[in-house]
Structure 1
Amino acid sequence: MLRTEALQSASNGIIITDALKYDNPVIYFNAAFQQLTGYTDTEILNHNCRFLHGKDRNQTALISLKKSIKKGESCQATLRNYKKDGTLFWNDLYIFPITNDKGTVTNFIGIQNDVTLRKKAEAERHHLTKILDESLNEIYVFDVKTLKFLNANFGAQKNIGYTLEELKSMTPIDIIPNTNKSEFRKTIDVLLKKNVEKIEFESEHQRKDGTKYPVEIHLQLSNLNEKDIFIAIILDITERKNYTTKLENKVEERTQQLKKALNKEKELNNLKTRFLSLVSHEFKTPLSGILTSSLLISKYPLTKHQEKRDFHLKTIMDKVYFLNNIINDFLSVEKLETSKENYQITHFQLSDIINEVIYNAEILLKDGQQIKAPNNIDEISLYQDEKIIQSIIFNLLHNAIKYSSEDSIVELCINQGIEFTTVKIKDNGIGIPEKDQENIFDRYFRAKNVINIQGTGIGLNISKNHIENLGGSISFKSEEHVGSTFTIIIPNKANQ
């Protein structure tokens, strides 16, 4: 009776199992065990203790425990156990066998000690230690009296070049060149007198390979296992010390930028000269055509001459349309040059602008030419500048028509992915000579095989600048006398 009362009053959880029965069931438990685990009498008695393990039964410590019980030996193991409500607790378990007069193990006594708080503290210390060890800054711990290093994190070992074992035989004086023990003692004396909690100062460290680098040292006094220590956090300030060099490099960079700006200004002047030459040619030809057609119309006043009048009216419309496009191109160039282009980003259906582009392009078709339009694009929408996207697609489609022969097909293909929409314009026209392809997007550049065809050499340059400003790209594949395929990749959402 006295023994039972003693077991019940114990603060540790205690259980007794019957080793002679199958599965070694629990036949006794004290109040502390039940209070800790939360299980009822019927859930504990006549059951093996494995109910405490829940589903966590692959613990390494359980293997040793099972072996000891099988051999009838004492054992100590720290296990992850689970209360009835599922809460994890760490159980420091001691198992003792009880034998009869014949030496047969009849029972096992288990003494249970909840060490959850200790485990949590260990985990926190381990986590903190890991953070310090993985820090890119150098962290050193050294003894107050001997000044010898006691520890150094990985960042310190990596930067200074010494292993921890090598550092343990060294002091800060060994890695700070041009200093001595008395000078260093004088520096840290204010901490020992506890005049301040920490000190900060700049110095220089020397690596194992002899290289030196500037550092900022944060030093404070601490205590470890009743032993006074110094903790030093070291910042490599090479970049800060190189500020002057960086500034000089910045000045040089700005100088180069000014030179580039000057070269760009020279290039712009050259472009202006080419522009004036282009205008004088490209405007003179269509204006002459308009004047001639206007004069000829007046010579056909009769109803029977309607077909001839229509011919000359179409000529006038074509020339006016061409001139209008040139003016629009020049305005776009000016806006792009002066960064005045303000994109108007809205949601729109791509099919709307494709229908508009094809409608406008049909009046440009040569005899027998056809546009093969894409199918199933009604659900495709973009968040882009609608007018700019329409202008780019029309420009490419117009080029395909212009540089293709009669009775040819110009194909327009569209495919939308998760992030981008791809538009391809394919023709079987005259193509671009291989040696001209690298310059095809240059402003005012025209390939050698289109010199006698009306054009400004501006459209592709404008299209490329616009699509790149909107986060997209333009590319092409072309073979002379075979045809060209231009591909524009448009972000579904503008890069604005």
Structure 2
Amino acid sequence: MLKKKVSISNIYRGIGISFFILGVCFITAVFFYFQHWIIRASAFLFITSFVILAFIFILLVRKKIVDFSDSISQCIEDIMNGKEEIAFHMESEDLIAKIHVKLRRLYKIMRENSSRNENEKQAIQEMVSDISHQVKTPVANLKMYNSTLLQSQLPAEKQREFLLTMEIQINKLDFLMQSLVKMSRLEIGAITLYIESIPLYDTLALALSSIVLPAEKKNIEVTINCDPHIKVFHDRKWTAEALFNILDNAVKYTEKGGKISVEVTRWEMYTKIDISDTGKGIAKQNVTNIFKRFYREEEVQHIYGVGIGLYLSRQIISPQGGYIKVTSKVGMGSTFSVFLPNERQF
């Protein structure tokens, strides 16, 4: 058995017919029980007025519902079409305004999610492009050297030279892959920072231990001034990684016989770690770019590196409630100031 769909128009029609039938029944009953013409006329005028008012009321209610339906439909249609400017009617306190408030909140959430998705998509595209650019050169070099070794009969000394060059490119790829893994883990929040109040001196010693040999090879003097009793809330392993990245850059870009100093100062809210060098310095217009992923100045392209160390340092320090500032002058050196909170932030 088929069920007929009940429309709003049919409901209105049914209500109108019901009122009309009630009116007819009322008039019939009055004419049947009362003979006086005044009573009959009064009853007729009353029921006629009632029916007319009822129909007017029904029409007004219908118009209100139609306007409500059109308003909500238009609003939803605009949201579905991604319209930038949508008119939400929230001046009054009726049902339409309340629903528009909810729709506005929904629209805002949808826009924020859409914007976030676009930003994430753009970030992924940029990262893939950066990785492709970084990997392309060492892979091309490896293929060239490998092809030369396979196709040419070279002296043993030349073969050894090629193999050593290939090893450098392999090490560069390995370093790049490790850096990318760290970067991705930091960006997606897969790394848990174990923040506790521990001596900063031990963390600095851990970071400095990895640059001692490279600094000695270049005859760079490294000095440290840190009170062994200073305790700061931080994650030892990852903070040492962040400090090492800064120290590693200081060694790379400081000429032979230069100096690197580490100065720790305790302030009221933060403890400042100044890492200063007598290196080449950073141009003022490039200071804001050095923390970007894979950024490297044109003047240092000949020096080994991938331009991800400072980016990782900021990604490590920021979640701990700290920050990094840079002061630099070309030809005079740079100072990287790492600020760590004295009190636990999270």
If the length of structure 2 is used for normalisation, what is the TM-score?
0.60
Give the CA deviation at 1:277.
1.9
1:331 aligns with 2:187: no
2:194 corresponds in structure 1 to 344
Give the CA deviation at 1:415.
1.3
2:135 corresponds in structure 1 to 279
1:380 corresponds in structure 2 to 230
> Aligned in 2, Cα 1:338/1:352: closer, same or farther, shift over 3 Å?
same
1:369 aligns with 2:220: yes
Amino acid at match of 2:222: I
Contact 2:263 2:273 in 1 (8 A): yes
Amino acid at match of 2:110: R
1:458 aligns with 2:308: yes
Contact 1:426 1:483 in 2 (8 A): yes
For structure 2, the residue ranges without an aligned partner over 5 or more in a row are: 1-90, 150-155
Give the CA deviation at 1:341.
1.6
What are the Cα deviations for residues 237-264 of structure 1, in whole angstroms up to 9, with x where unaligned?
Answer: 9xxx778437515523531441242133
Mapping of 1:391-410 within 5 angstroms?
Answer: 391-410=241-260
Mapping of 1:70-469 within 5 angstroms?
Answer: 244-245=100-101, 247-282=103-138, 325-365=175-215, 366-375=217-226, 377-469=227-319
Give the CA deviation at 1:320.
7.8
2:24 corresponds in structure 1 to none
- SS of aligned partner of 1:372: strand
> Aligned in 2, Cα 1:283/1:427: closer, same or farther, shift over 3 Å?
farther
Contact 2:233 2:340 in 1 (8 A): no
Between the aligned partners of 1:437 and 1:412, the Cα distance in structure 2 is: 20
Between the aligned partners of 2:168 and 2:207, the Cα distance in structure 1 is: 16
Amino acid at match of 1:458: I
Contact 2:261 2:275 in 1 (8 A): yes
Amino acid at match of 2:265: N
What are the Cα deviations for residues 39-70 of structure 1, in whole angstroms up to 9, with x where unaligned?
Answer: xxxxxxxxxxxxxxxxxxxxxxxxxxxxxxxx
Give the CA deviation at 1:483.
1.4
RMSD, matched Cα? 3.6
Amino acid at match of 1:356: L
> Aligned in 2, Cα 1:317/1:358: closer, same or farther, shift over 3 Å?
farther
Contact 2:254 2:280 in 1 (8 A): yes
Structure with a larger share of its residues in strand: 1
Contact 1:414 1:424 in 2 (8 A): yes
What are the Cα deviations for residues 450-495 of structure 1, in whole angstroms up to 9, with x where unaligned?
Answer: 1222211111111112111111101101222221111110113443
- SS of aligned partner of 2:334: strand
Give the CA deviation at 1:298.
10
Between the aligned partners of 1:456 and 1:252, the Cα distance in structure 2 is: 40
Amino acid at match of 2:263: C
Amino acid at match of 1:452: H
For structure 1, the residue ranges without an aligned partner over 5 or more in a row are: 1-212, 215-236, 300-311
> Aligned in 2, Cα 1:242/1:262: closer, same or farther, shift over 3 Å?
same
Contact 2:135 2:173 in 1 (8 A): no
Give the CA deviation at 1:346.
3.4
1:308 corresponds in structure 2 to none
Amino acid at match of 1:399: N
Between the aligned partners of 1:441 and 1:351, the Cα distance in structure 2 is: 25
> Aligned in 2, Cα 1:243/1:444: closer, same or farther, shift over 3 Å?
farther
Contact 2:138 2:172 in 1 (8 A): no
Between the aligned partners of 1:368 and 1:412, the Cα distance in structure 2 is: 17
Between the aligned partners of 1:282 and 1:493, the Cα distance in structure 2 is: 44
Amino acid at match of 1:468: S
Amino acid at match of 2:218: D
Which has the higher mean CA deviation after the structures are superposed, 466-475 or 244-253?
Answer: 244-253
- SS of aligned partner of 2:274: strand
Give the CA deviation at 1:387.
0.5
Contact 2:138 2:169 in 1 (8 A): no
> Aligned in 2, Cα 1:442/1:298: closer, same or farther, shift over 3 Å?
closer
Amino acid at match of 2:251: I
Identity %: 22
Between the aligned partners of 1:419 and 1:335, the Cα distance in structure 2 is: 29
> Aligned in 2, Cα 1:265/1:284: closer, same or farther, shift over 3 Å?
same
Amino acid at match of 1:464: R
Count of equivalent residues: 242
What are the Cα deviations for residues 123-178 of structure 1, in whole angstroms up to 9, with x where unaligned?
Answer: xxxxxxxxxxxxxxxxxxxxxxxxxxxxxxxxxxxxxxxxxxxxxxxxxxxxxxxx
Structure with a larger share of its residues in helix: 2
> Aligned in 2, Cα 1:445/1:264: closer, same or farther, shift over 3 Å?
same
Contact 1:358 1:371 in 2 (8 A): no
Between structure 1 and structure 2, the one with the greater Rg is 1
Amino acid at match of 2:298: K
1:475 aligns with 2:331: no
Between the aligned partners of 1:349 and 1:316, the Cα distance in structure 2 is: 42
What are the Cα deviations for residues 270-292 of structure 1, in whole angstroms up to 9, with x where unaligned?
Answer: 32122122023357769999xx9
Between the aligned partners of 2:144 and 2:251, the Cα distance in structure 1 is: 24
- SS of aligned partner of 1:443: coil
